[in-house]
Each structure stands twice: as C-alpha cells, then as structure tokens.
Amino acid sequence: MIQITLPDKSVKEFSEAVNGYEIAKSISPRLAKDVLSVSVNGQVWDLTREISEDANVKLYTWEDREGKETFWHSSAHLMAEAIEFFYPGTKFGIGPTVDTGFYYDVDLPEGKQLSEKELQKIEQKMLELARQKNDIVRSEISKEDALEMFKQKDDELKLELISELEDGTISLYNQGNFTDLCRGPHLPNTSYIKAIKLTSIAGAYWRGDEHNKMLTRVYGVTFPKQKMLQEYLEMVEEAKKRDHRKVGKEMELFGFSEAVGQGLPLWLPKGTQLRMQLEDFLKKVQKKYDYDQVMTPHIGDVKLYKTSGHYEKYGKDSFQPISTPAEGEEYLLKPMNCPHHCEIYKWKPRSYKDLPIRMAEFGTVYRYEMSGELHGLTRVRGFTQDDAHIFCRPDQLKDEFKKVIDIIFIIFKALDFENYTAQISLRDPDNPAKYIGSKENWDKAEQAIIEACEEKGLNTITELGEAAFYGPKLDFMIKDALGRSWQLGTIQVDYNLPERFQLEYIGADDNRHRPVMIHRAPFGSMERFVAVLIEHTAGKFPLWLTPEQAVVLPISEKYNDYAKKVSNFLNISDIRTVVDDRNEKIGRKIRDNELKRIPYLLIVGEKEAETETVSVRRQGEGDKGTMKNSEFADFIVKEVRDQLSGLYN
C-alpha cells in the first residue's frame, strides 16, 4: 500500500501508484475539479505525474500561489505555441511566472516585429488552442539528446540553457504542435485556460545582460473563468488611478530628476512632511518599547561588509567601491545598516544586565539596480529603512521577538491594514550553501520564531528557502484595498552576525557569551512603504498622517487676510493648514484641492469673517456646516486623537 499524508496529518492509502488528480478525487469531486498541481515531499509536480511511494502531499488550487504559478506557467507555453504559429522559426528564451501572470522572452525571425495591435490575434489563437484540450505531456531525455534536438531547431537560446544544466535527464513538455524545455509543473491539459489577456510588450536583454541580444518580452495573464478576467481588468483600471507615481505627482509628494540620477527620489515639502509624520509616529512607539536612536555614516569600509558577509552575497548589487588612492582605502555606499550597529554594540563592554539593547535608525542605504528594474518608489537605488537591531540573551529572544510583533500590529492598526498573512521564512534544507552559520544556530533561530508565533496566536504559513542568508525571518504579507499582496514588516533572528563580529557580553557566571541579534523593519523601506500606502488609500491618508489637514479657501481676494488669520490660528493649534489665495473662482479651488486629497476644505467669505467662523467641507463627503474656528480646531484634534487612541499607551 502507498500511504499519502495530507497537510492535516490524515493518511490515505492506495493499492497502487497514484497521481495528484486521483488523490483529489478521492477527497471530493469538487476538489478534483479545482485542483491544479500537487506538492510531493515539498516539490511541486504535475497532477498527472505518478506517485509510486509513500509521500507527504499538498494539493493546490487557484487560491494558492503554487496553483496560480502552475496555471500561468502553462499559459506561457500556450502563448509560445500561438506565437510560433504566426511566426515560424521564433526562438524562445525563458517564460516564467510573475506576480500577476507571466511573460516569455522571444527572438522573432529576422525582419519580423511584434506590436501591441497584434496581441489580440495571438490571444484569439491561444483561446483556439486551449479549446482543443491538448494534453500537456511531460517527457525526459538525456542532456545529449536535448542538445541535439535544439541544435536541429537552431535555437541558440535553449542550447545555452541546456549546456549549463548538470548531466542527466532533462524534462520537456509537449502540447499540440509545441515542445519546450521545462522543469514544470504544468496543467493536465490546455482546456483549463478559459480567459486570456496579453497585456504588454517590452524589450529585454537576454538573461538581463545589456551585452546580449535584445529580445521581445510579451506579458500576459490568464484565468480559469471569464468573470475573473473582467474583475482583474477593472482592478487594473482602478490601480492606474491609484498608481503612486500619478497620485504622488498630483499631491506634490515626490519627484525624480535626470540631473540627480535614476532611482534617486527627491522628496518635496509635502512628501517630506508625510515621511516625518511616519517617522515621528514610529519613534513614539519605539520610545514605549525602550529603543535608543542611533545614526551611522552613509559609507563604510569595504572590510566591514566583508566581515558581515554582505559583500560576498550582495557585492554585485552594490555600487562599486569608492577608492582613495592616496590612502589605499576602499569604501562602499552603505548597503545595510546592521554591520554599523554591530560596531556600536562593540563600542564598550556589555554585561548580561545591559541586555536587551535596542538600537533604531532611519538609515539610508544604497543598492545598484539595473535601470530597467527601477519603478517609482517601489524599486529605487537609494532608500531609507526604519531599521532596528535588538541584541539580547538567548533566554530573552522569544519575548523580544513577540514585542516586535506587537509594534508591527500597532502600525497596521494605525494605517488600517487589516488583511495580512504572517509568513515564516525558513532556509532551504536542500541548498545549505545559500546560508552562513551553523546548523545548530539555524535550528535554534527557526524554533524561536515558530514558538513566538504560536504563543501570539498568529495564523502563519511556512515557506522554505525564503530565509535571509544569515537567518530565518517572519514576514507580514499585506493585501491592499485592491487585493494585491505586498511584503511589509519583517523580523529576522540572527545568531551569525554576532559570531562574525565577535560580539560578547559577560554573563552572570562571569564568562563571555554571544548575544542573539534581531533585525526588524516594520515599514521596510520608507520609499516602498509610502508607495504602498498611496495605492492602498488612493492618497486619502488618515487625518493624523496627511501632509495638509486643511486648506482655507477665500471666496475672493477681499477675504485673503481673514483666510491667513484662520490658517495661522489652526497651525498654532498643530493643525497643518494652508491657504489657497489664487485669483480663481471658488468652484475651481474646491476641485483643485479635492484632487490634492486635502481632508478639510474651509470656505470663508463675508459672513465667516464677521462671525469668526469657517464653512467646513469634508473631502468626499460634502458640506459639514459652519463652525467657530476654535470649535473646528477641537474637532480636528479629537479626530486625530481618536485615530491614534491607545496606540502609544
């Protein structure tokens, strides 16, 4: 008998070899209809692939990331088949899945080009091929035969990929008239794909190397139901309206300058105010948890990052060293804050009574990103992390870890992030070379995270291979107002940097001991966090956070002085207020300032000037009546206090 163990630890027995589809069918007909792929002992397989011995099995549907990846991986092959139909002789590079769909890099025959207007005919061909219900069949051949096969096709792209694979069997997948090199997994057949949208075309250097040939990259997305595609397209349109680059420009928050350089954002006064509000908020929370603020340089000696291991792992992604020939020194623009904090810890001897030591810094770091990868604030070359490092005794680790979880929950509550998943990111047991440090320390770190999450009652998922190179971590995956997932908030346990930097404290036994290090960044990077926050709120921030809480709109120039008087009074009351005294009609002023997402519009004219009042208009809600200036100030202060109630206590 073959024993199949499911995630709930229940066991199903089969008298002979079985596949994922048959396992799903034995559970329920509905599951058999929805299942897309199967995990066998941690590896994702085709549903039709035979399982011939005892195994731990998990079934994936569209609701699972692995299910979507299988669906979109098969869709990339379907798109390649359609492209080959219209452009025989096309050479195919790689066709991976991405967060929302897939792409394929293709080398079209000489003289052929693919334009946006031709995507629709490829979509139609894909639908035609999908309806043929062609089986997607896996086969295995030797590396030698694979090289010969693609040599016959004169496909140097695939030959390059195959030549780098280890000797042994290589998997191919075939559907209809199309065969491709691929490790899988794939859908059982093409009929699962019911709705298709090819979204864009871009140029892409082969394997991301600007010295290689430029290929055509075709992006697409597919769904098992037409209704899902329609909902997705509506979401895309809404996302365009919320795009942080568009909203940031309308609200005058940030910008970029070619003269300054790519991927280096310039924070305008209103954007700077927004960042300062976020920083002040977190500083108050950190004060409650006894953090000390520190500051470190923007550069560091290369040897510092070699000691930490960052240079070996990320040296290629850093800006190249700054040399000082006269002194024979080499410096890097700081890619990480943690090595600097380790040196602060070493500044003086530490006792077990001193621990935990909690250091926090809004530290700007620099990473070299290819220009083609840059995207607004979400992918930049210089960014500020809300970084902190906790140095504690092993017996303090779990409690300190749980306190960081508490801080992250305070932030989520303040910013109305309600839909999240806690992901425990562990090392890949099959690839130990990716990580530094001993197995013993990794085991202790992973166990501490798992126990802390259990004690906090978190619903978690576990992902193997997603740990940082120096330690496991807990990542919080947030869903925004459009249902998109973002990684915000991370906590990492690290036994390795204290070892590399030889950090010590004197224990109660008068012996030297190593502290444990916790890395944490609730926002992650300020740039990326602001981008996510803009798109989540469409720029309509909570009142406590918004750069300008009120704008005074005089109905004519005669009331400009009174408008400034109101603004001064409110600013003295710590209400961020501006005056729009342009020579424009009041209707135009209202429209323009609503576009800037200013929460309160205060209209003043003859009546208001005589009675020391303002006519209040709330963004998106309309008129709120007339209030005395002091009454409005009290109203705003109460609203802000209610929004932050209990968060600092």
Tokens of 643: 């929004």
Contacts of 634 (CB under 8 A, 6+ apart): none
Identify the CA nearest to 338 among candidates 522, 523, 519.
Answer: 519
519 in a labelled binding site: yes
Active site residue 387: yes
Active site residue 519: yes
Active site residue 340: no
Identify the CA nearest to 61 among candidates 231, 230, 192.
Answer: 192
Identify the CA nearest to 359 among candidates 295, 313, 420.
Answer: 295
3-state DSSP: the chain helix, strand, coil percent, rounded to 5? 40, 30, 35
Distance of CA 109 to the CA centre of its chain: 37
Contacts of 342 (CB under 8 A, 6+ apart): 308, 389, 497, 498, 501, 503, 517
Tokens of 18: 């079985």
What type of residue sits at position 364? T
Is 464:426 a contact under the CB 8 Å cutoff?
Answer: yes
Active site residue 487: no
A 10 A CB-CB count for 619 gives 16
Identify the CA nearest to 551 among candidates 444, 434, 632.
Answer: 632
- Choosing from 186, 350, 473, 528, the catalytic residue is 473
- Choosing from 519, 589, 596, 597, the catalytic residue is 519
C-alpha to C-alpha distance for 172 and 122, rounded to whole angstroms? 23
C-alpha to C-alpha distance for 486 and 379, rounded to whole angstroms? 13
Partner residues linked to 142 by β-bridges: 169
Cis peptide upstream of residue 185 (ω within 30 degrees of 0): yes
Identify the CA nearest to 617 among candidates 634, 598, 631, 633.
Answer: 598
Is 636:550 a contact under the CB 8 Å cutoff?
Answer: yes
Q: List alpha helices for 464-556, DSSP H.
A: 496-500, 526-537
- Choosing from 182, 338, 342, 392, the catalytic residue is 338
340 in a labelled binding site: no
Rg over CA atoms, the chain: 29
Is 56:80 a contact under the CB 8 Å cutoff?
Answer: no
A 10 A CB-CB count for 133 gives 12
- Choosing from 275, 341, 389, 589, the catalytic residue is 389
Active site residue 338: yes
Q: What is the DSSP letter of 15?
A: S
C-alpha to C-alpha distance for 381 and 391, rounded to whole angstroms? 29
Tokens 């006894």: give the residue: 290
C-alpha to C-alpha distance for 452 and 440, rounded to whole angstroms? 19
Identify the CA nearest to 618 among candidates 604, 601, 639.
Answer: 601
Q: Give the three-state DSSP class for 150.
A: helix
- Choosing from 46, 105, 155, 387, the catalytic residue is 387
Q: List alpha helices for 489-581, DSSP H.
A: 496-500, 526-537, 560-572
Active site residue 580: no
Tokens 């794909």: give the residue: 193
Is 336:310 a contact under the CB 8 Å cutoff?
Answer: yes
- With helix as H, strand as E and coil as C, how does 572-640 read? HCCCCEEECCCCCCHHHHHHHHHHCCCCEEEEECHHHHHHCEEEEEECCCEEEEEEEHHHHHHHHHHHH
C-alpha to C-alpha distance for 648 and 641, rounded to whole angstroms? 11
Distance of CA 355 to the CA centre of its chain: 33
C-alpha to C-alpha distance for 257 and 377, rounded to whole angstroms? 13
Active site residue 342: no
C-alpha to C-alpha distance for 608 and 601, rounded to whole angstroms? 14
Residue 269 has phi, psi (to 5 degrees) of -50, -45
Strands (E), 236-381: 254-255, 266-267, 292-293, 299-301, 322-324, 329-333, 357-366
389 in a labelled binding site: yes
Active-site residues: which are they? Answer: 338, 367, 385, 387, 389, 473, 519
Residues annotated within the binding site are 338, 389, 519
Residues annotated within the binding site for Zn(2+) are 338, 389, 519
